[in-house]
Amino acid sequence: MCFSATVSFSAGAFLLGIGTLTLKSARRPRELPFAAIPLLFAIQQLSEGVIWLTFRYEAPQLNAVMTHVYSFFSHVLWPVYVPVAVLLIEPPGWRRRALLAFVAAGVAVGGYLLYVLVTYPIVSRPIGQHIEYVSPHFFAAAAMTLYLMSTTLSPFLSTHRTVKVFGVLALLSFAAAYFFYTTWFISVWCFFAALLSTVVYLHFVLRRAERSGLRHML
């Protein structure tokens, strides 16, 4: 699999379109954070497209800025954002209360990784047609466990089938990216997860169909 500025920009443009449609499909304010996931992935992919260009045109300062923008998404935003977005669309009940634990895990690992990003330099470099993001990793096992809990396991608690599918696909893509692309894991998994965020759009399409069916029954 070959990645490049063209691939990142194409994925970003595609997700901008999907993300716009998804936001328009949200019917309640509580649905907006979950509906915004494809759009946020679009921004992340577009930022990686810029990183690719900084290698080609030798722009180290822009590279440093965009590397930190991209890493904020991958390291800090997603572990906090995903469980919160899942929690907001969940109806009252024990599942919502249980999701608070995943939100806490996400805040903990997101806060820790934000500290690492601010304290230690993170470097992006092109290696073997992929981008490798190099940064210190302390307490890697604990951080990865909390990260996976918040980003891939929290959707398992949802009462919505498509949200569970999103979690399953995110977990499988994590395993595939880590097994086949260990060196470039951050870049490759975020790319896979970005494309899989189209499931979020499917969630709202199916919800709209269900509401339409109920109206016809009434």
Give pLDDT, residue 86.
97
Name the average pLDDT for the chain. 90
pLDDT category at 48 given cuts 50, 70, 90 is very high
List pLDDT tens digits, range 139-162: 888 999 999 999 999 999 999 999
Contact (Cβ atoms closer than 8 angstroms) between residue 68 and residue 127: no
Backbone angles phi, psi at 58, to 5 degrees: 50, 70
pLDDT category at 212 given cuts 50, 70, 90 is low
Give pLDDT, residue 216.
46
Average pLDDT of span 29-36? 96
pLDDT category at 87 given cuts 50, 70, 90 is very high
Give pLDDT, residue 211.
63
List pLDDT tens digits, range 115-135: 999 999 899 999 878 899 998
Alpha helices (H) in the chain, listed in sequence order? 5-25, 32-35, 37-56, 60-71, 78-88, 94-119, 140-148, 161-180, 185-196, 198-217
Spatial CA neighbour of 78 closest among 123, 121, 44: 44
Give pLDDT, residue 111.
96
DSSP string, 87-105: HHTSPSSHHHHHHHHHHHH
Most distant CA pair in the chain, distance: 63
Give pLDDT, residue 136.
82
pLDDT at 191 over 60: yes
pLDDT at 102 over 90: yes
Tell me what percent of the residues of the chain surpass a pLDDT of 70.
Answer: 95
Give pLDDT, residue 2.
52
Q: Is the dihedral of CA 14, 16, 22, 24 positive or negative?
A: negative
Give pLDDT, residue 195.
85
pLDDT at 91 over 80: yes
Tell me the one-letter amino acid at 168: V
Give pLDDT, residue 18.
94
